[in-house]
Amino acid sequence: MIFHITSQVEWSQAQARGEYTAPSLVTEGFIHFSTNKQVLSVANAFYRGRKDLVVLKVDEARLKPELKWEAPAGPPADNISESDLFPHVYGPVNLDAVIAVLEFQPNPATGTFDDHPHE
């Protein structure tokens, strides 16, 4: 399983469109994903304090676009080394590959993400 952090609004728009895309698909050529181990570090590096997020749990065997395991596209987040590989999806995600949409809320006192997303 691979995971992608997005907003509830972007997920609703994807359901209406019939596929999920992200701005990085246009700007970088792929959609950033994480492993379960990487989700909290990525969330705290890029989404701290956001209360409008969900995490898409994706079965990579169901993905139609190409999936590549690559080095971080930018500076690595805390607890992630440059040698860690990240899943990058090279095309719009077909919705039948999304097997769960997980609630994802930061700690109300600190704005940090301390717990993995919940089903």
Give domain limits for the chain: 2-104
Q: How large is the average pLDDT for residues 66-85?
A: 74
pLDDT class of 18 with cuts at 50, 70, 90: very high
Residues 6+ apart with CB under 8 A from 62: 94, 96, 97, 99
What is the number of other CB atoms lying within 10 angstroms of the CB of residue 53? 20
What backbone phi and psi angles, to 5 degrees, belong to 115?
Answer: -120, 145
Q: How large is the average pLDDT for residues 53-64?
A: 97
In 1-119, the DSSP E strands lie at 2-7, 19-20, 31-32, 53-58, 66-70, 86-90, 93-94, 98-104
Q: How large is the average pLDDT for residues 45-49?
A: 92
d(CA 116, CA 118): 6
CATH of 2-104, one of 3.20.170.20, 1.10.150.20, 3.10.20.90, 3.40.50.2300: 3.20.170.20
Q: How large is the average pLDDT for residues 4-33?
A: 96
pLDDT class of 63 with cuts at 50, 70, 90: very high
